[in-house]
Amino acid sequence: MALDQIVDGLSEVSCDVLVIGGGTAGPMAALKAKLKNPKADVVLLEKANVKRSGAISMGMDGLNNAVIPGYATPEQYTKEITIANDGIVDQKAVYKYAQNCYKIIEELDSFGIRFLKNENGDFAVKKVHHIGTYVLPMPNGETVKKALYRQLRRARILISNRYMATRLLKSADGRVAGAISVNTRTAEILVIKAKAVILCMGAAGRLGLPTSGYMFGTYENAANSGDGYAMAYHAGAALANLECYQINPLIKDYNGPACAYVAGPFGAYTANNEGSRFIECDYWSGQMMLEFYNELLSGKGPVFLQLKHLHEKTIEEIESTLHKVERPTRGLFQQGRGVDYRSESIEMHISEIGLCSGHSASGVFVDDNARTTVPGLYAAGDMASVPHNYMLGAFTNGSVAGIDAMEFADSHDFAAFDSAEVALERERVLAPTRREDGIPPNQVEYKTRRLVNDYLQPPKVTRKYELGMRRLAEVREDMEQRMIARNAHELLRALEVQSIMDCADMAAHASLFREESRWGLYHWRTDFPDKDNENWFCHTLLSKQDGRMTSTKRAVEPYVVPIADDEKDLYDKQRIRASA
Amino acid sequence: MPLASYQTQVPVVVDDAKCIADKGCTVCVDVCPLDVLRISDMTGKAYMAYDECWYCMPCEADCPTGAVTVNIPYLLR
Amino acid sequence: MSSPFESYDDLEDADERLQAADPAERRVAIISLGHSGDPAAVGHLANMVSDPDAGVRQQVAMALGEFDGPEAAGALAKLLVDPERIVASAAADSMAEFKDPACADIILPLVKHAHAFVRTGALRALKELRRKDAMKPALEALQDPDAAVRAQAIGVIGFLKLEEAIPALTALIQDPDAHVRRAAISALAFSQMKPAAETITRALKDGDWMVREMAADTLGLNINGALAADQLIAALADGFWQVRLKAIRSLGKMKIERAVRPIGNCVNHEQANLRKEAAAALGEIGHPDGEAFLAIIADDLDPDVRKNARWALQQIVARRAKG
């Protein structure tokens, strides 16, 4: 049989709760839904394989937002996230996370996931900066996925690997009815009817093009092509603050994190070419990234992760974690370059742009129960709008989503959908396979992402955005009319390009809507260089209205943790310059 | 328009002598998040069929016989 | 189209597949049993611990790590004493994943095994099980000639958090191995009694800087840490800045007012990390005498130092306002 040969086929299954995405939030959501009602059928659908999928396919080297009693309080954490996001936060969901996450840590611990402990069995929480103590290293973090998979098998979750969901199904009255998916190795179509659906499909991490030019050398797992953002959009769900991009510091060219959070507690820091610290900002935020960006361009760059002042034995300890977990090829990369941390600093850079609430704030709008604006549809993890929730947030909010979705499924019957929609979607999905001649997906993808870099990457210039959108529209036409897929694997890539294109369009649209600058580098508009609290102290919600992309404002919910007046502009004030 | 094939040095290398894919093992093919590994019809061994690698390592880490080596893709190296 | 779901029938032809003549085929069968999540797989895996092929036994050891409970522990106990190191190492790693305290019944006898590797593995596995009857053998293991065994035994004892263990842990600060001394100091953190704090304090004069660093850090976590304030202040003159840094942090955490001057004298240190911690500690203590020192670093070249200095000044001002 030829490689990944296309097979004609369509089948249908049904379940109570369908979880799409088996990375971090998804397995937790599926597990909690099943434990809530063990008699119910829970399907976990995954584009790759649940064993090793998602942002933490190879594990994680630590938690950086652990709210552990005795070290931090939910109030303090909520305050910090609010300030780091320039106040544009619905605190209820953040506060709920902060209250629940310790229970989740204990639960993960009981699954056999290893967190660093002192010799008396207490969690060894580390301090990175003076404001909060939230870092909990995971010395055996590579066991995370293994431990989760074990729980899924034990609970008898129906796991469906190598199926990519393409569109959601809805009833006439707007309730979610299930999803359509396609097998990534055979192109067979699978329709899954469900009473409730949870989207846990990760970041839109394959949006910008990495500086190396290697399309899959992205900061996020390259499988995270923003499929969840696109699916939610086409289902009519609202997406929040998409103009608040994700940009991260990373090891130059390797495009993986340098992990200041791992090395930081040991005394390592980010420094410029003069060997001095330059980051003024305390929070992991767009403001911090702006400082990074400015330093790179100032002539004081390159920027480095500074380790060589540390003791030999300390460096050994850092290496043993950095080179084993999360991105274990990091050591191999440094070795190839001949970089020894003892004598040389690690050159850093900033990543390509992406959309990811896990590190910033852009995602499918959800409330504190992980509900989207579509009844029966939930979202959690990097693609849901709870800001800065990282891995632990994916677990915690995935858990919230799983429980609430099962309650919804228990009180609702299947929603009816129009079967003509399935036929239409099948034709749309398979269209690239029906063409004899055309453009392969890798070329369409490269061009799309190159345009994202050229025109959408901050600083955001209105004129550039207009040009970029025009060019993207041309490529979209190529994509819709002329893209070909000669086997099932190419079809997977062809479908991913469509998600990438949708995300690029949404990012551009949302960025033009917010006529101010906010969140440092993430939304730096040169035509509107100032923060405008009078008109823009609000969320923006993007959604599909009558087939058109539309943005509206949404008020920030009243705070549950009050922020004093003098703390409100702390964010601006904390840029403490030497008076000289 | 006709399509040309594109030369690329793939990052994942499989040692055929150690690989037991011909005995029914599919571990590396299963765990790859980007689904770029396949088992060859001709040799029965695993190989990298598509150069779309995130150099994330599960294929190497999970291989029961140590047959898989992940290299950094040339463009990044 | 076949079922779109992962199969839960992995055990159906397991016995036949486990008896394949080719060891590679047996390995493949073991991998699928490990992934099955089905507790019934443990029995099948246990039958394979004497397989003639070391690679197969290694695979069995890894697969058993997916399960918990005495049956899996029994099989792993046999693999932990395997003559092949790859097998024994895999067994030790898998055993360390156990959470079911009942596993301790199987593992406890291994603490007396002739080989140090086995003793180490057994103690490492016992840590998370937190069984009180592991205390006695762990205390005995503190006399073990092998340092790795002693270090693991400390963890078993520390995780139990029982005051009765303090004298034995205290004795270890004379241990010839620095790792053992460091682990013992860390384990003492839980004790509510003064002698533990005194022991940690003595370790501030240890010959190894990493032990001193651990002692300075641990005093900040111990309930009686403040009793060692003078010794921590003396540690601000330690030859290693890493030790001074932890001493500063602990003094700050415990708000030791008489430490303000000695901490203040650290603000000129060449290590920015140290200047930063000194600033933060002066803020935590909040005593007005800190102000003069903070003024020195208000314009420090390092933004983190400036930030901490400014924050510290705010704390001092706020405290003064409260009276």
Q: Among A63-72, A427-436, A570-579, C13-22, where is mean pLDDT lowest? A: A570-579
Q: Is residue A517 very low, low, confident or very high in pLDDT (cuts 50, 70, 90)?
A: very high
| pLDDT tops 90 at residue C191 | yes
pLDDT of residue A203: 97
Chain B residues contacting C via beta carbons under 8 Å: 20, 23-25, 27, 64-65
Closest CA to A205 of A55, A330, A328, A350: A55
Q: What are the chain C neighbours of A141 within 8 Å (beta carbons)?
A: none
User: C250 and C212 in contact (C-beta within 8 Å)?
Assistant: no
Q: What is the C-alpha separation between A232 and A230, in angstroms, rounded?
A: 6
Q: Compute the average pLDDT of residues A212-234.
A: 96
Please list the alpha-helical segments (H only) found in A57-157: 74-84, 91-110, 144-154
Q: Please count the other Cβ atoms lying within 10 Å of the Cβ belonging to residue A562.
A: 11
pLDDT of residue A451: 98
Given phi > 0 = left and psi -120 to 50 = alpha, else beta, which region is A12?
A: beta
Q: How many domains does chain B have?
A: 1
Task: Kindly tell me if the per-residue pLDDT of C300 is higher than 70.
Answer: yes
Answer whether residue C176 is part of any domain: no
pLDDT single digits (tens) A387-405: 999 999 999 999 999 999 9
d(CA C72, CA A112): 15
> From the list B33, B52, B70, which residue is nearest A53 (CB)?
B33
Residue A402, min C-alpha distance to chain B (Å) = 24
Question: Between chains, do C245 and A112 touch, taking CB under 8 Å as contact?
Answer: no
- pLDDT tens-digit profile of B1-26? 788 888 999 999 999 999 999 999 99
Residue A541: φ, ψ to 5°: -115, 130
Is C279 within a domain? Answer: yes
Distance of alpha carbon A485 from alpha carbon A186, whole angstroms: 12
Q: Rounded to 5 degrees, what are φ and ψ at C96?
A: -70, -10
- pLDDT for res C1: 62
Q: C280 and chain A: CB distance < 8 Å anywhere?
A: yes
Q: Using a CB–CB cutoff of 8 Å, tell me whether A11 touches chain C.
A: yes
A218·B54 Cβ contact <8 A:
yes
From C22, C25, C31, residue closest to B27, measured CB to CB: C31
pLDDT confidence bin for A572, thresholds 50/70/90: low
Q: Give a yes or no: residue B10 inside a domain.
A: no
Q: Which one of B22, B25, B28, B63 would you mutate to disrupt binding with C, by most C Cβ within 10 Å of its Cβ?
A: B25
Asked if C66 lies within 8 A of A122 by C-beta distance, the reply is: no
Per-residue pLDDT tens digits for A438-478: 999 999 999 999 999 999 999 999 999 999 999 999 999 99
Is the Cβ pair C187, A110 closer than 8 Å? no
Complex ipTM, two decimals?
Answer: 0.97
How sure is the predictor about A140, in pLDDT bands with cuts at 50, 70 and 90? confident
Strand segments, DSSP code E, in chain C are: none
Report phi then psi at A201, rounded to 5. -105, 15
Mean pLDDT over each residue of chain A, to the nearest integer? 92
Provide mean pLDDT across the span A142-157: 93
When pLDDT is averaged across residues B34-52 and rounded to a whole number, the result is 97
DSSP A354: B
Q: To the nearest whole angstrom, how far is the Cα of B17 from the nearest Cα of chain A?
A: 23
In a 13 Å sphere around the CA of B60, the CA atoms on its Cβ side amount to 18
Contact B51, B8 (CB under 8 A): yes
The pLDDT value recorded for residue C77 is 98
* Residue B2 belongs to some domain of the structure: no
The answer to whether the CB of C190 falls within 8 A of the CB of C158 is yes
Q: How confident is the model at residue A577 (pLDDT cuts 50, 70, 90)?
A: very low
**Separation CA A51–CA C35 (nearest Å):** 9
**Confidence check: pLDDT of A568 > 90:** no
Q: What is the DSSP letter of A373?
A: S
> Stretch A358-379: mean pLDDT, rounded?
96
Please tell me the distance from the alpha carbon of residue A500 to that of residue A292, in angstroms, as a whole number. Answer: 26
Tens of pLDDT, residues A100-122: 999 999 999 999 888 999 999 99
Helix axes C241-253, C209-219, angle to 10 degrees: 10
Q: Enumerate the H helices of A371-461 as residue ranges.
A: 390-410, 419-434, 441-451
> Quick one: DSSP state of residue B47?
E
Cα–Cα dist A65/A135, whole Å: 6
State the greatest distance between any 2 C-alpha atoms of chain C, in Å, as a whole number: 84
Does residue B50 belong to any structural domain of this protein?
Answer: yes
Structure tokens at C101: 């305290």
3-state secondary structure of A119: coil
Task: Examine residue B59 and state whether it is found in any structural domain, yes or no.
Answer: yes
Tell me which of C136 and A84 has the higher pLDDT.
C136
End-to-end Cα separation, chain C, in angstroms: 78
Please state the rounded mean pLDDT for residues C5-26.
93
Q: What is the mean pLDDT of chain C?
A: 95
Q: Which residues of chain A does C4 touch, with a Cβ-Cβ cutoff of 8 Å?
A: 11, 13, 160, 163, 183, 190
Whether residue A391 contacts residue A360, with contact meaning beta carbons closer than 8 Å, is answered with no
Q: What is the CA radius of gyration of chain B?
A: 13
For testing the chain A interface, which of B3, B13, B72, B77 should be mutated: the one with the most A CBs within 10 Å?
A: B72
Decide: helix, strand or coil at residue A305.
Answer: strand
Secondary structure class of A201 (helix, strand, coil): coil
CA angle centred on A86, ends A83 and A87, rounded to 5°: 75
Interchain pair C27, B27: CB under 8 A: no
| 8 Å CB contact between B72 and A329 | yes
Q: Facing residues of A544 across strands?
A: A549
How many CB atoms are located within 10 Å of the residue A130 CB? 20
Reply yes or no on whether the pLDDT at A567 is more than 80. no
What tokens does C177 get? 């191995």
What confidence score (pLDDT) does residue A280 get? 82
Does residue B76 belong to any structural domain of this protein?
no
Place of tokens 């010839």: C176
Q: How many domains does chain C have?
A: 1
51-70 of C, contacting A, C-beta below 8 A: 66
Residue C323, domain member (yes or no): yes
Kindly tell me the burial class for residue B36, based on how many C-beta atoms sit within 10 Å of its own C-beta (0-12, 13-18, 19 or more): buried
Share of chain C above pLDDT 70, in %: 99
Question: How far is residue A71 from each of residues A388, A565, C1, measured CA to CA in Å?
Answer: 19, 25, 54
The helix (H) or strand (E) run that includes residue A240 is strand A239-240
The DSSP call for residue A351 is P
Q: Specify the DSSP element, H or E, that contains C217.
A: helix C209-219
Smallest CA-to-CA distance from B56 within A205, A382, A314, C28 is with A205
Return the pLDDT at A236: 98
Contact residues, chain A, for C161 at CB < 8 Å: 120-121
Tens-place pLDDT, residues A480-489: 999 999 999 9
Domain that holds residue C289: 256-323
Of A69-83, A162-176, C72-86, least confident by mean pLDDT is A69-83
* Residue A138 confidence (pLDDT): 86
pLDDT number for residue A106: 96
Q: What pLDDT was estimated at residue A575?
A: 47
Domain limits for position B22? 16-70
Residues of A in contact with C189 (CB under 8 A): 118-120, 122
Of chain A, the end-to-end C-alpha distance in Å amounts to: 73
| Chain A nearest CA to C37, separation (Å) | 5
CB A57 within 8 A of CB A145: yes
The answer, yes or no, to whether residue A579 has pLDDT greater than 50, is no
Q: Which residues of A touch B38 (CB under 8 A)?
A: 3-4
Q: b/e map of A250-263 (b: 16 or more CB within 10 Å)?
A: bbbbbbbbbbbbbb
In a domain, C93, yes or no: no
At B61, which CATH number? 3.30.70.20
Contact A158 C5 (CB under 8 A): yes
Identify residue A270 by its one-letter amino acid code.
T
CA distances for C192 relative to C136, C146, C162, C196, angstroms: 21, 30, 10, 8
Partners of A577 on chain C (C-beta within 8 Å) are 306
Residues of A in contact with B53 (CB under 8 A): 216
Residue C278 lies in a domain: yes
Which candidate from A127, A154, A267 shows the least CB-CB separation from C37? A154
State yes or no: pLDDT of B46 exceeds 60: yes
Who among B41, B72, B75 is closest to A332 (CB)?
B72
Collect all residues of chain B within an 8 Å Cβ-Cβ radius of residue A3: 38, 49
Residue C127 reports pLDDT greater than 90: yes
The domains found in chain A, sorted by start residue, are 11-63+144-246+354-419 (3.50.50.60), 249-350 (3.90.700.10), 432-545 (1.20.58.100)
A118 touches chain C (CB under 8 A): yes
Q: From the list A4, A184, A214, which residue is nearest B76 (CB)?
A: A214
**C contacts of B25 (beta carbons < 8 Å):** 24, 27-28, 31
What are the E-state strand segments in A413-547? 538-545
- CATH number, domain with residue C296: 1.25.10.10
Q: Searching chain C, which residue's CA lies closest to the CA of residue A577?
A: C303
Asked if residue A257 has a cis previous peptide bond (ω within 30° of 0), the answer is: no
Model confidence at A329, in pLDDT bands (50, 70, 90)? confident
Contact B20 C27 (CB under 8 A): yes
Q: Which of A355, A348, A308 is nearest to A330 (CA)?
A: A348
What pLDDT does residue A574 have? Answer: 47
The span from the CA of B76 to the CA of B36, in Å, is: 18
With respect to residue C265, please indicate whether it lies within any of the assigned structural domains. Answer: yes
Do residues A169 and A417 touch, judged by C-beta distance below 8 A? yes
- Cα-based distances in Å from C315 to A61, C287, C309: 34, 9, 10
| Confidence class for position C9, pLDDT limits 50, 70, 90 | confident
**Residue C286 lies inside a defined structural domain of this protein:** yes
Interval B68-77 mean pLDDT: 94
pLDDT at site A1: 57
Give the C-alpha separation, B73 to A219, whole Å: 15
Q: Hunting for tokens 């369908």 — which residue is that?
A: A18
